[in-house]
Amino acid sequence: MSFGPHLLLATLEGLVTSAVLALTALGLSLVFGVMRVVNVAHGEFFMLGAVLAWWIASLATGHPAIGFLLALVVSPLIVGAIALVAERLVLRRLDYNPEATIVATIGMLYIIQQLALTFYGPEARPVEAPFSYRILFPWFGYSGYKLSVIAFSAILLLATWFVLTRTRIGLVMRATQYDRETAQAFGIPVGRVYAGVFAMGAMLAAIAAVLIVPIQQAHYLMGLDPLLLSFIVVIIGGLGSLRGTVVAAVLIGLSDGIISVFFSPTLAKIIATMIVAMVLVFRPQGLFGTAAR
């Protein structure tokens, strides 16, 4: 394959990574932005989404699309419910103390992981894609499913943006984020907002995971990579900035795709880590974050 088509292929692969990463990182960023909680267990909600997707799809019979669509709806709901319980039982009792919640979510990480190992096992299992249509470019064929992942993520990101900036729910979330005390003085039940945001963050990770399982198999240790990459994205983009999260996810996803194809995946990781270091040194609030006042 010559350079041009090769680059196109790398770009497409990079965009698939970007799309899934943007959703996952957005969940992490929302939780930190609104609640000031660094959710170390975020990757495990991603893993749970994938493992549950396999389980749900394996229960369904008939066309693979049925199982997949069922998983796309049900798995995030279950993960959201689990996150909600964790929020009420653990984070709220710690009064959302920044240090205590880090330790607590590390605990959650291991608990969820070990439960997955116990009940799901150490195997990696795939979920069949809802359709196997291939787009034929002049130089190569490309998975139609992967393109639909990019499109679906883009729609979901737009929907999140719309909710945050154009609806009352978004207004309430932003008010809670900017000034928790004053928000309460205007009738906003910040406890309930926190619970909702934590569940929503976990659900975004779960949706991303359901989208990825037809491409990459479900495994009980699969949460680590998305967690690290999400942190990278959120640091580069600026915590709590939706635009920054999306831009950084595309940047990291594309550079990962392109550099991995032309050079090596290790180099891609090295460069991503270097970008993080540079951002931390020269622009600690992130590319699109606002400096703390």
Partner 1 sequence: MTSALTISGLDCFYGEVQVLHGLDLDLRKGEVLCLLGRNGAGKTTTLKAIMGLVPARSGSIVLGDRDLTKLAAHDVPKAGIAYVPQGRRLFAEMTVAENIEIGLMTRNKGSQTRESVLALFPLLRDRLRQRSGTLSGGEQQMLAMARALCLEPEVLLLDEPTEGLMPSMIAKIRETVAKLRERGVSTILVEQRVDAVLSVADRVSFIENGRNRETVGVETLRGDPAFVQRYVGVG
Binding site for partner 1 (CB under 8 A): 168, 171-172, 174-175, 178-179, 181-190, 290
Minimum distance between the CB of residue 97 and partner 1, rounded to whole angstroms? 14
Residue with smaller CB distance to partner 1, 144 or 170 = 170
Minimum distance between the CB of residue 101 and partner 1, rounded to whole angstroms? 20
Give the dihedral sign, CA 166/172/175/176: negative
Q: Token pair of 2, please? A: 């010559």
Residue with smaller CB distance to partner 1, 61 or 293 = 293
Q: Is 4 exposed, middle or buried (0-12, 13-18, 19+ CB in 10 A)?
A: exposed
Greatest CA separation for the chain: 63
Minimum distance between the CB of residue 35 and partner 1, rounded to whole angstroms? 16
Sequence-distant (6+) residues with CB within 8 A of 190 are: 176, 180, 183, 184
Q: Is 1 exposed, middle or buried (0-12, 13-18, 19+ CB in 10 A)?
A: exposed
Minimum distance between the CB of residue 291 and partner 1, rounded to whole angstroms? 13
Residue with smaller CB distance to partner 1, 160 or 177 = 177
Residue with smaller CB distance to partner 1, 107 or 189 = 189
Cβ-based neighbour number of residue 115 at 10 Å: 14
Query: What is the rounded CA–CA span in Å between residue 149 and residue 126?
Result: 16
Residue 27, CA distances (Å) to 33, 40, 49, 76, 114 in order? 10, 12, 13, 12, 23
Residue with smaller CB distance to partner 1, 62 or 168 = 168
Residue with smaller CB distance to partner 1, 58 or 167 = 167
Sequence-distant (6+) residues with CB within 8 A of 44 are: 108, 109, 112, 113, 116, 223
Minimum distance between the CB of residue 96 and partner 1, rounded to whole angstroms? 15
Minimum distance between the CB of residue 201 and partner 1, rounded to whole angstroms? 20
